[in-house]
Amino acid sequence: MTKLFNHCEFLISAYKMSQLPADDGMEIAFAGRSNAGKSTTINALTNHKGLAKVSKTPGRTQLFNCFEFAPGMRLVDLPGYGYAKVPLKMRKYWDQEINNYLMKRQSLIGVVIIQDIRHPMKEFDQQMITWAFNSNIRSHIILNKADKLKSGQAKKTFMQVQKQIKTLSPTTTCQIFSALRKEGTNTLSEVLTPWFEEEQAYLKQN
């Protein structure tokens, strides 16, 4: 497994987009419903159990949490989307800030869309996939919590999701994942590392 993400450190938590680090360099955003396991996925990828704060209560990620593993190279844990028990006004604020980030952040090079494999491809997930393709942003689907299903059922769901993805975006990739067991971290790292390398090469040419 590549060691690219092994030296990741917490950088900043931001309540709004204007508080984020300067909009240069490269960053990959982790998006998903509030119970999909975004924080545990980041911890598994970086091999750092306590890097992204994990709560037993879905929806506790109410900030943009930024992590840096090399100068100008960041991972951003977006506020969770979905059934989090928060006031409607707060949920609307999150939606607006996430939308602003996705539409305006110049350093954003890709998104990892994390889904609970037991409840995949919800409306928000499909919107994210379509948006990423139309915006020429790299995207990768994590079917997390595979440890909750038998292997055969997980593979069946994976095949169904792959077919659905193809109707939305021919460039989006997908994998089975278990943040709890750290299964799929090598594959995830192998997907994301070239994103940074390709972007670096592009920037040097331009």
Mean pLDDT by 10-residue block, N- to C-terminus, for the chain (206 residues)?
A: 78 92 95 88 86 53 86 91 67 84 96 97 93 96 97 97 97 96 95 93 81
Within 8 A by CB and 6+ apart from 11, the residues are 21, 66, 67, 68, 74
- State which H helix or E strand residue 28 sits in: strand 26-32
Q: Is residue 35 part of a domain?
A: yes
Tell me which residue of 129, 112, 144 sits closest to 28, measured CA to CA: 112
Q: What's the pLDDT score for residue 61?
A: 56
Q: Is residue 96 part of a domain?
A: yes
Q: Is residue 98 part of a domain?
A: yes
Q: Is residue 169 part of a domain?
A: yes
Q: Is residue 2 part of a domain?
A: no
Query: Which range marks the domain in which residue 62 is found?
Result: 9-205
Q: Is residue 148 part of a domain?
A: yes
Tell me which residue of 16, 132, 28 sits closest to 73, measured CA to CA: 28
pTM, whole model, 2 decimals? 0.91
Rounded Cα gap, residues 113 and 128, in angstroms: 8
Q: Is residue 4 part of a domain?
A: no
Rounded Cα gap, residues 147 and 158, in angstroms: 14
Rounded Cα gap, residues 121 and 130, in angstroms: 12
Q: What's the pLDDT score for residue 166?
A: 96
Q: Is residue 80 part of a domain?
A: yes
Tell me which residue of 79, 14, 5, 72 sits closest to 43, measured CA to CA: 5
DSSP per-residue string spanning 35-70: TS-HHHHHHHHHT-TTSS---SSTT---SEEEEEEE
Q: What's the pLDDT score for residue 145?
A: 97
Q: What's the pLDDT score for residue 81?
A: 75
Q: Which two tokens stand for residue 22?
A: 């300067």
Q: What's the pLDDT score for residue 79?
A: 85
Number of domains the chain is built from: 1
